[in-house]
Structure 1
Amino acid sequence: MSMAAKQARGKKANDAIFATNSRAQEAARTYGKENVLIGTVGSILDENGDIVFLKVVEDEFRNLPRNEYIAYAPIEGLPEFIEACKQECFSESRPNAYIEGIATTGGTGGIHHLVHNYTEIGDKVITADWHWGAYKQICADNGRELVTYPLFDEAFEFNFPALEALTLELAKIQENVLIIINTPGNNPTGFSLCESDWDKVLDMSKNLVANGKNKVIIGIDVAYIDFSGEKEEVRRFFKKFENLPKEILGVACYSISKGFTMYGQRVGCMLGITSDAEVAQEFFDINQMTSRGTWSNINRPAMRTMANIVHDPEKMKQYEEEILGYSKLVEERAAILEEEGKAIGLPMLPYMGGFFVTIPSDAPAEVTEELMKEHVYLIPVSRGIRVAVCSVPKRQITGLAQRIYDAMKRVGQL
């Protein structure tokens, strides 16, 4: 017998990432963490294998006034936090547009609100085939369907024709077309759209809304933006969201989980970018209301911590020095894996930044199970093996490509 409503029956969370991480942690306790390679969860670990908490962030967080830890925050978020998110998300490339912000439970909360408020029950939502698995769960839990296009063409470049074909097909049956693009530093591949790729996406959107029948909402999941290259360079594409038709709404889903190393605090901000004042006000109103109806308000101390740092030049200088150091560390780890993989012919999807590198595979579960025999814990994803280079020390990254290659051979993959 089921007591659940029809739409809830049969739901069950099967999160391979956290399940595999639990096995990895148990192995580390049994055999010693120096003998176990854990490349599972997307958190930065230092070269000693300890989770990173930026010093300037930790100091600010631990020394807040008492009331900042316990008082409620406004539903839409602290005003200083929203402005800090605009500053950090866009930096020198803030679009000349109407921009409204709503605090969310991490970047995930912004994705949820996009699906909930900009599509109808039964609608389809577009993203790439290589995507974070929670997108599908968010859509399904809201009565929507996630549909995908192949991210890469045969040359492993952005497959814009595939996105265009799927978008035009969907526009025939839906007024609103929601496209979620995880860039820069796509999870799980590390791929990023270049500026010419963005030109194609926005030109397509402009041509589509010119018919007077459709509206396009572009959700940009920028969770890994602080680990995807030089700060200003990876943000330049935001300027392209200026002067767009009012039927195109850009929404950056920004998170302080990665850049401010406060993963478990669950704080982010969705930033709506539009040329129309009414659309901006609607964005604020409907997403604030949905926040009230889901989590009410979010973590005040984390918001205050981030805002205090961003609005203090000296603290901001310390922050940027720290984050740059760890960003370079992640890049160095990825480079070791790439170089060693290339030398032995290990296939690898294009990596440009972010926390993860992915090796394509037709049998990812079998390969990762084989690697676990050697106390190597990686994540099987659809058609690939995800390596969290953010969390694996360089001494363990060295030689990992060979270990993956050998495991793939043993299970008949190479």
Structure 2
Amino acid sequence: MFLGYTGGLKLESFNMVANHAIRQVAEDAIFGANTQAQKAISEYGFNNVINGTIGVFLDDEGILVTFDSVFNALRELKDESFAAYAPLNGINEYLDTAIKTTFGDYKPDGFIEAVATPGGTGAIRHAVWNYSSWGEEILTSDWYWDPYNTIATEHGRKISTYKLFDEKMNFNFEDFESKVELLLDKQKRLIIIINSPAHNPTGFSLSYDEWLGIIEMLKRKASSNQNKIVLFIDIAYIDFCEDESRRFLSLLSNLPKNILSIVSYSMSKGYTFYGLRSGAIIGVSSNKDVAIEFKNACSHSNRGVWSNGTRCAMEVLTKIYRDESLLEKVEKERNHYKEMLKIRANSFMKASEEVGLEICPYKDGFFISIPSNDPIGLAKELSKEKVFLVPLEMGLRFAVCSVSQEKCKITPRLIKEAMKRI
């Protein structure tokens, strides 16, 4: 690699960072696409641009949705709730509340511990670092949130994938089991990341029966004491799903001690607290020592990476769940936007069916994905029509969370026409 030429002599590149930190510099696909969309909006006006890149909830005018009930509660906090350090593990009442709201009526039997993290991303980081070794592979689906790979490579791990869908666009249990077997044979230790319900980027959700099949299969693999399995469940968008979507969490009860279940909790979407970075990593085990080990490892990682979490966010969650009337207001606001999200998604899916546009199976969540053999070329072609989507490795991601119903209705036709042109 060379930086340039001076007087006909080649100048070798000079690096100050350690070898493991030398990386290719590439623009983030999501933020890059949004930058293009924002430029088009400034030039042509908001109404003439479809910006399906942003993974936050926007109203029909493109304004970030924030829950008044939540931010009024935030403003009522005393100064010390903002200024004071939080405990390294997180405020105890916050952690108890995070566990309560994560599982709802479906709390599994077993030993449950939690440690505060900066959003669900922090939980992923702790799981990757504490439960895999250098060079090992972490399993997730072939459609996945790209920061999984960033976190893995940042810590010297690799992402391995199974095919999420079979030929009939159903969950590909056969390929999933095959990859689990392959990696356990090679490593004897395996982290499996499953993002459900409301998978990012497809909006796919596993059914209860599919979860039951996964759990039963993992129990069979755990019959060998040599195998250590960590099932990491990313539920970042669960607050925008129906309550019944939590039912599968009860299946985490009384699993073999060499299966540790980890659930990532996040306040970002369900409380519109994206920027306050508050969440938790929650461990479930049938073995008390494993659960205590989990808490100790994650607490140590907190101190070594970011120290404390955001105290005011923790205070707000505990305040909401202490006050039934405030909790009712929060849930009323959230339900309003859940319904809006459902209307937008249904409009997109109906329009896709009408024009014959193939999409990944959608059930819940902020995103719908469109398979494509040339996602970058398709995204470029759509940008000529002032339509901006995020190109992924296997297709395009469309953020129904940030696009009005009217624009959701017309986007499938524009995508289909762009596909024909390229």
- Partner amino acid, structure 2, of 1:214: N
- Partner amino acid, structure 1, of 2:99: K
2:262 alignment partner in structure 1: 251
1:122 alignment partner in structure 2: 135
1:400 alignment partner in structure 2: 411
Please state whether the residue corresponding to 1:187 is helix, strand or coil: coil
Q: 1:222 aligns with which of 222, 235, 258?
A: 235
Cα deviation for residue 389 of structure 1 reads 0.1
TM-score norm. by structure 2 comes to 0.95
Matched, 1:262 2:262: no
2:5 alignment partner in structure 1: none
Q: How do 1:19-168 residues align onto structure 2 when only pairs under 5 Å count?
A: 19-168=32-181
- Partner amino acid, structure 2, of 1:287: C
Cα deviation for residue 81 of structure 1 reads 1.2
Cα deviation for residue 302 of structure 1 reads 1.3
- Partner amino acid, structure 1, of 2:362: Y
CA distance in 2, matches of 1:195, 1:27: 43
Please state whether the residue corresponding to 2:256 is helix, strand or coil: coil
1:3 alignment partner in structure 2: 16
| Residue deviations 1:307-360 (CA, integer Å, cap 9, x gap) | 211221111111111111111111110100100110110011000001000011
- Partner amino acid, structure 2, of 1:6: N
TM-score norm. by structure 1 comes to 0.97
CA distance in 2, matches of 1:25, 1:81: 37
1:376 alignment partner in structure 2: 387
CA distance in 2, matches of 1:188, 1:298: 27
Q: 1:203 aligns with which of 216, 236, 246?
A: 216
Asked if the contact 1:365/1:380 (under 8 Å) is kept, the reply is yes
| Residue deviations 1:109-152 (CA, integer Å, cap 9, x gap) | 11111110000011110000000000011111100110000000
| Residue deviations 1:34-69 (CA, integer Å, cap 9, x gap) | 222111121001122210001111111122111111
- Partner amino acid, structure 1, of 2:339: K
CA distance in 1, matches of 2:20, 2:300: 23
Asked if the contact 1:17/1:379 (under 8 Å) is kept, the reply is yes
CA distance in 2, matches of 1:396, 1:10: 38
Runs of 4+ in 1 over 3 A off after TM superposition: none
Unmatched runs of 5 consecutive residues or more in structure 1: none
2:4 alignment partner in structure 1: none
Q: 1:321 aligns with which of 314, 332, 341?
A: 332
| Residue deviations 1:240-271 (CA, integer Å, cap 9, x gap) | 01111111111111111000001111111111
Cα deviation for residue 206 of structure 1 reads 1.0
2:378 alignment partner in structure 1: 367
Cα deviation for residue 13 of structure 1 reads 4.9
Aligned residues between the structures: 409
- Partner amino acid, structure 1, of 2:351: E
Please state whether the residue corresponding to 1:154 is helix, strand or coil: coil
Please tell me whether Structure 1 or Structure 2 has the larger radius of gyration of its CA atoms: 2
Please state whether the residue corresponding to 2:116 is helix, strand or coil: strand
Cα deviation for residue 26 of structure 1 reads 2.1
2:201 alignment partner in structure 1: 188
CA distance in 2, matches of 1:395, 1:306: 34
CA distance in 1, matches of 2:398, 2:114: 33
Cα deviation for residue 234 of structure 1 reads 0.3
2:31 alignment partner in structure 1: 18
| Identical residues among aligned pairs (%) | 40
CA distance in 2, matches of 1:308, 1:25: 37
Asked if the contact 1:84/1:311 (under 8 Å) is kept, the reply is no
Cα deviation for residue 11 of structure 1 reads 4.6
| Residue deviations 1:345-390 (CA, integer Å, cap 9, x gap) | 0011000001000011111111111111122111111111110000
Q: 2:294 aligns with which of 283, 294, 297?
A: 283
